[in-house]
Structure 1
Amino acid sequence: MLVGIIGGGSIGLLFGAYLGQEHPVTLFTKREEQAQGIKKNGIFLYSPEKEGRAVQVNASFEKESLTEQDVIIVAVKQYDMPELKPLLLSIPKHIPLCFVQNGMGHLDMLHGLPHETIIVATVEHGAKRLDDQSVSHNGAGRTNLALFKGHANLPEIFPQCTDPHFPVTVHNDYYTMMIEKLVANALINPLTVVFRVKNGRLVENPYYYAILKLMFEEIYSIFPSGNKEQSFDQVLRICTNTKNNTSSMLSDIQAGRKTEIDAILGYILKVAERKGVKLQTVQMIYVMVKGIVLERS
């Protein structure tokens, strides 16, 4: 299967390294220097279980060959999606698109795409881009897939990977799947920024845990999806599985990059406002993160 991946960040590199072991992968990058380096040397994948190894994949700064792919995985940050829309509209509508973003603010844009098959995905893995060609797989998890639009059989159109460290799970209900990830992102990312800690400390420190639980109660009141206890246990499991990881939002702040705070907590607060509900703890954490970002700018 010819696999195109748009985005050379941590998730794009992680998908490229694992899927590239079994499929011809082309990584489409924003910078020509990154594309040239990957074409020459491949993607270096590091993980606790294995020594660093290079996976040979193709890479391109030019986007013309997007039309040659069997499936395209869009792995850019949510705030880059509006800028990417003209490119997506140029891709033939018969090519399935898979979107891997935090939050749910991008779903409105997906409704406006003409493509016959659109997949949404959530990623539980911990990954960190070390440089243009290297990614560290720090926390094992799953990739969750669900159809957003279309009637395709996902195992037939999404590239399979037999590596046990990169499992893929198919879900029937994209909304419930994404709500579960939204809740986890809304808790883990902002709180690790405020407390300046790795993911695991949110469950190890009883005071951080108390805030985590309080935020969960507020968010669940807006998105009461599935079993409440199981939903919270899922968040705790992600914290534990990625306990030594620096969250993506904290990494972005440390690197001086834009954050997804508006796409995550901002989205939740807008939904709460539409429902006439005040989320005091969520609002407080949102304002604190915005203040931290302002201090860094």
Structure 2
Amino acid sequence: MKVGIIGGGSIGLLLAAYLGKCVDITVYTRTEEQAGELAEKGIRLVTHKEDFFTKVKARKEFGDLNRQDFIFVAVKQYHLDDLVPIVREIASDIPLCFLQNGMGHLEWLPSLPNKTIFLATVEHGAKREDSRTVAHNGIGKINIGLYRGDSSSFQTLFGCKHPNFPFQFHHDYEGMLVEKLMANALINPLTVIFQEKNGALVENPYYFQLFRLLFEEIYEIFPDDDKEKTFQKVVNICQNTKDNTSSMLKDIQGGRKTEIEAILGYALRSASQKGLNPKTLQTVYLMVKGIEQERS
């Protein structure tokens, strides 16, 4: 099986390192330099217990995408706009899987010609150390949901089993995405505003009050059957990753654009469609946008 991975960031390299042990991987990168490093030396994956290398193909050009049997799109949400024309040229019978934070991409997925599209959320902790090295800092799982089409095309990849890299299939892709959005919408923006690690949001009583206020508004936009259970899940994530720096705070610290539009921007657009006016959510969104502009 030939699998293409668009994106040479932490998640793209993590996918390629594990899946490359049982399928033919091609990583599509933004730069010739990274493609050359990956093609020549492979991917180095580092965990607390092991250190291994995976040989992959890599290139900057997208000319051979239609030779792949399955394609993962593992770029930041804000890079998707540039990729849309390229993705639309992919043959309609090649399944796609999108791995992004937020839900902004749901707004343009209907325009794609591909018959089979999967959506995924990532629970692993990963950090790209250099152009070919990825540190797997937190073992979780990849959740996969079928947006449309035939789910059987994913079965071969489910056979690529590694104890540190499990997949879990979900029949309700929207519920899967909302669960991840809830955590991203609470943790990422507030850690940016307070310039704190995840744990501070539940350890500091004043931060926690705002955490709860923001949850109440987001839950009103995306309700489910068990409000307190949903809230406790996000609290648990904060506690279990208390020493972690959120991805959005890392982007701010690195002077990069954040995924705030795909996370809180999407939530605000959904609120407007439902006739809701979430003031706390609007305030947090504007604060992050202001910080992003000052740091970029």
Shift of 1:245: 2.2
Structure 1 residue 234, shift from structure 2 partner: 2.3
Superposition deviation, residue 165 in structure 1: 1.4
Match of 1:20 in 2: 20
AA in 1 matched with 2:11 = I
Q: Does 1:85 align with 2:84?
A: yes
1:61 alignment counterpart: 60
Change in Cα spacing, 1:155 to 1:244, as seen in structure 2 (3 Å) is same
Q: Post-superposition shift, 1:155?
A: 4.5
For 1:274, give the aligned amino acid.
Answer: Q
Structure 1 residue runs of 4 or more that deviate by more than 6 Å after TM superposition: none
| Structure 2 equivalent of residue 208 of structure 1 | 207
CA deviation digits over 1:52-89, x for unaligned, max 9? 33222221112122112111000111111121111111
Deviates more, 1:242-251 or 1:22-31: 242-251
Q: Report whether the alignment pairs 1:270 with 2:231.
A: no
How many residues are treated as equivalent by the alignment?
A: 296
Distance in 1, Cα, partners of 2:36 & 2:22: 22
SS of equivalent to 1:138: strand
What CA distance in whole angstroms lies between the structure 1 residues aligned with 2:140 and 2:57? 26
Structure 1 match to 2:111 = 112
Q: 1:254 to 1:229 in 2, by over 3 A?
A: same
Q: SS at 1:213's partner residue?
A: helix
Aligned residue in 2 for 1:230:
229
Structure 1 distance, partners of 2:132, 2:91, is 29
C-alpha separation in 2, matches of 1:32 and 1:106? 27
Q: Which runs of 5+ in 2 are unaligned?
A: none
Q: Secondary structure at the match of 1:73?
A: strand
Query: Structure 1, residues 176-212: CA drift from partner, whole Å, max 9, x if none?
Result: 1111111111111111111112223323333322222
Look up the match of 1:133.
132
Could you tell me how far apart the structure 2 residues matched to 1:81 and 1:2 are? 22
Identity %: 55
Q: Confirm whether residue 289 of structure 1 aligns to residue 291 of structure 2.
A: no
Task: Report the RMSD for the aligned CA atoms in angstroms.
Answer: 1.6
User: What is the Cα deviation at residue 154 of structure 1?
Assistant: 5.8
Describe the SS at the equivalent of 2:165.
Answer: coil
What's the counterpart of residue 46 of structure 1? Answer: 46
Structure 1 unmatched runs, 5+: none
- Output the CA distance in 2 between the equivalents of 1:141 and 1:237: 14
Q: Displacement, 1:265? A: 0.7
User: What is aligned with 2:32?
Assistant: 32
Does the aligned pair in 1 maintain the 2:158–2:167 contact within 8 Å? no
Q: Give the Cα–Cα distance (whole angstroms) in 2 for the partners of residues 105 and 146 of structure 1.
A: 16
Q: 2:95 touches 2:153 (CA, 8 Å); kept in 1?
A: no
| Pair 83,170 (structure 1): closer, same or farther in 2 beyond 3 Å | same
Deviation track 1:94-148 (CA, whole Å, cap 9, x = no partner) reads 1100001111111121111111100000111122111111112222222111110
- Measured in 2, the distance between the counterparts of 1:226 and 1:176 equals 11
Distance 1:213 1:2 in 2: 45
Relative to 1, partners in 2 of residues 1:205 and 1:53: Cα closer, same or farther, differing over 3 Å?
Answer: farther
- Larger deviation: 65-74 or 269-278? 269-278
Report what 1:168 is aligned to.
167
Q: In structure 1, the residue corresponding to 2:121 is in which secondary structure?
A: strand
C-alpha separation between the residues in 2 aligned to 1:148 and 1:154?
13
Give the secondary structure class of the aligned counterpart of 2:147.
Answer: strand
Q: TM-score normalized by structure 1?
A: 0.94
